[in-house]
Chain A
Amino acid sequence: MRVGIIGVGMTAFRPSTPEYSWKELMFEAASRAYADAGVDPRTEVDSFVTCAEDYYEGFGIFDEFTPDQIGGALRPVCTVTGDGLQGLANAFMQIQTGLIDIAVVEAHSKASDILTLEGIIEHGLDPIWNKPLGGHPFLIAGLEADAFLRKTRTSAKALAAVVAKNRKNALRNPLAAYAANVDAAQVLSSPERFTPLRALDIAAPADGGVVLVLASEAAAKRRHANPVWIRGIGWASDSPTLETRDWTQAAYAQLAAEMAYRLAKVRRPATEIDFAEVDDRFSYKELQHLEAVGLAKKGEAGRTVVKGGYDPGGALPVNVAGGSLGCGNVFEATGLHRAAEVALQLRGDAGSHQIDGVRVGLAQSWRYIPSATGAVAVLGAGQ
C-alpha cells in the first residue's frame, strides 16, 4: 500500500517567538497543514503522532500535553521521543497496517524558551563517563569534525562553502530565520569555537512548527488529492557510547538510507535522486551525511561543495531551502522540516527557491548532539 503526503503546514522559523506559546506554534502549523490538505482534524484524521523530548520542552510527560492544539483530543495520539522523520516513519507504518487512513505528524521547537540550552543538551551526555568532565557538549562535534576532515581529507574551506551556500539559499526562503549573504572568507574568520568548527559553522537555534498530513493511496484518491509519495523510509542508531561509535562517518545515516532505498527500490541513489535536504546543524554534517547516504563518494563531498555542485543550479541541489544553518536549528522538528521542503519542491510549491523538473528527493535527519541516530526518507512525485 502506498502512503502519500497530502498536506504540509509550517510556521515561519524565527530566533524567538515571544507572542506565541509552544502550543500556539503547534496550532498554527497544524491549521496550515489541515487547510493545505483540506482535512478536518476532528472528523477525518485517524491518528496523530507528535515528536518531542521532555527536556527540550521544559516539563515532563510531553505526550499528555499534545492532543488539543492539533485537533486530536479524545483520538488516538502518540509521541515519538525522536526527530520528526522518525515520527513520519511511525505514521507511515500506521497507515501501512490498514487500520488508519489519514495520519498526522507534528514536530516543533520553542528553543527560545530554554534559558540554559547548553545545560539541556548536556543532559544527553553519559552521566558517568562524559558529563562529569565538565566540557561543553559541542566538543563532541569538534572531535567528530576533526576525525571526519582528517579521514576524508576535507578542508576547512569546504565547511565554509557549506555555510555560505546554505545561508545564501535561505535568502530565497521567506520562512528562514538566519538568511544572510555570507561568504566563505567571513566563515573562516568567524571566532573559533570547537576547532575545526567556528561560530558560523554551528546552526543557531530557532522556533518553529511543522505538520504533515499523510494518507493511504485509497484515501488520497477518494479525496482527489495529488500526494507526494513516501517511496521509502528508514532509521538506525549507532552505539550511544561515544567512545565505541564510528567517528569518521555517519554509520546511522548510511544504514537508514539503505533501509529507505530498499523500500523505494532505489539502486543508484546518485543518479536516481534529484535533490537532497540533509542535516547541516554543524557544517561538516552536511558533507558527512551526503557521503553516508551515497550521494557523494567518500571524501568527495567537500570538493564538490567548493565547486558549486550542491548549489541550487548544481548537479545535486542540497539544502535549497537554507538548511538549519539558514533556517535555524529547530531541534526535533529538523527532519520533518526537511521532509516538508522535499514535498513542497516535488509539488512545485517551493516558491522562489523552487528547483525545476525534480521528481525524486531525499530527506535525512540526525538527532543532534550527542546522538548517533538518523532517519532517511525518499519522496517521489507523480504516479
Chain B
Amino acid sequence: MTFLDRTTDARRFRQWEGNMEADYIYTSGVAGERFFVALRDGGKMLASRCVACNLDYLPPRLFCEDCFAELSEFVDVPPEGRVAAVTMAHLDRRGTPLSRPQVWALVTFEGIRGGLVHRLLVPPAKARVGLAVRAKLKARGDRVGAVTDIEGFEPVRS
C-alpha cells in the first residue's frame, strides 16, 4: 500500500493488538514516608514546613516551591478542612458510566499551602464548596501507609 494507491476496502485493513507491560513500585520518598507513617500509626496528617517562606506544604515535600530550600521540619495539619472545589464524576476511571455519581473535592486547610484531592463522602445534593470536613480514616489495623488509608472527607457536623 503506497500513498499513490490507498486502500478503500475497510475489510482489508490489518492491525496488531499489543500492550505495554509497565509495573512499578513508586517510592514515597523521605517526606512521603513521614506523612504516611504518621497517617498509619498516629491517624494524623503532616505538612512540611518552609521556615524561610513561612509556608506549610500538603502534600509534604522535601523542597520549597518558592525558595528551593530543603525542608526538614514537619507540622500537624489541622484536623478540620474546607471544600475548595467540588465535582461529581459520572464516569469511572475506565470511562464506564456510574449508576451513582462519585463526589470528589479539593480540600484545603487553614494556613496550609495545598491540600488533598479526595472523595467527598456526602450525597451529590449535599456537596458544596465551603463545607467543613475532616478525613475519615480506615481502622488502625487496616491502614497500610498510603493515601487510600483515607476513605475520604466527611462533614464535621452531619
Residues of A within 8 A of B (CB): 18-19, 24, 27-28, 31, 55, 58-60, 115-119, 122, 127-130, 132-140, 142-147, 150, 191-197, 239, 241-244, 247
The answer to whether A135 and B104 touch (CB under 8 A), given A128-B26, A242-B117, is yes
Residue of B18, B89, B148 ringed by the most chain A CB atoms within 10 A: B89
Minimal Cβ-Cβ distance residue in A for B8: A19
The answer to whether A243 and B117 touch (CB under 8 A), given A27-B3, A143-B85, A192-B88, is yes
How many Å from the CB of B36 to the closest CB on chain A? Answer: 9
Cβ contacts under 8 Å, A27 to chain B: 3
Verify B32–A128 contact, CB threshold 8 A. yes
How many Å from the CB of A200 to the closest CB on chain B? Answer: 14
Verify B91–A136 contact, CB threshold 8 A. yes
The answer to whether A239 and B65 touch (CB under 8 A), given A18-B10, A19-B6, A135-B93, is yes
Residues of B within 8 A of A (CB): 1, 3, 6-7, 10, 13, 15, 17-18, 20, 24, 26, 28, 32, 57-59, 61, 65, 84-95, 101-102, 104-106, 113-119, 124, 129, 146-148
Verify B59–A142 contact, CB threshold 8 A. no
Cβ contacts under 8 Å, A247 to chain B: 84-85, 106
How many Å from the CB of B116 to the closest CB on chain A? Answer: 6
Cβ contacts under 8 Å, A150 to chain B: 85, 129
In the complex, A208→B26 CA distance in Å?
A: 34
Verify A243–B114 contact, CB threshold 8 A. yes
The answer to whether A244 and B32 touch (CB under 8 A), given A139-B104, A142-B104, is no
In the complex, A132→B116 CA distance in Å?
A: 13
Verify B65–A195 contact, CB threshold 8 A. no
The answer to whether A144 and B85 touch (CB under 8 A), given A241-B59, A243-B114, A243-B117, is yes
B-side interface mostly: mixed
Verify B119–A243 contact, CB threshold 8 A. no
Cβ contacts under 8 Å, A122 to chain B: 93
In the complex, A28→B114 CA distance in Å?
A: 46
Cβ contacts under 8 Å, B146 to chain A: 128, 132
Verify A118–B94 contact, CB threshold 8 A. yes
The answer to whether A243 and B106 touch (CB under 8 A), given A58-B20, A133-B119, A144-B85, is yes
Verify B95–A24 contact, CB threshold 8 A. no
Minimal Cβ-Cβ distance residue in B for A115: B17
Minimal Cβ-Cβ distance residue in B for A242: B117
B89: contacting residue among A130, A135, A145, A239, CB under 8 A: A135
Residue of B91, B105, B113, B147 ringed by the most chain A CB atoms within 10 A: B91
**Can you add 19 more A-B contacts, CB < 8 Å, to A28-B3, A192-B90, A244-B57?**
A55-B20, A127-B26, A130-B117, A130-B147, A133-B147, A135-B119, A139-B89, A139-B102, A146-B129, A193-B91, A194-B88, A195-B86, A195-B90, A241-B114, A243-B59, A243-B115, A244-B114, A247-B84, A247-B85
Cβ contacts under 8 Å, A241 to chain B: 59, 61, 65, 114
Cβ contacts under 8 Å, A24 to chain B: 3
Cβ contacts under 8 Å, B85 to chain A: 143-144, 146-147, 150, 247
17 contacts between A and B (CB under 8 A): A18-B10, A31-B3, A118-B93, A130-B117, A137-B93, A139-B89, A142-B87, A144-B85, A146-B85, A147-B106, A150-B85, A192-B101, A194-B87, A194-B88, A195-B86, A197-B87, A243-B117
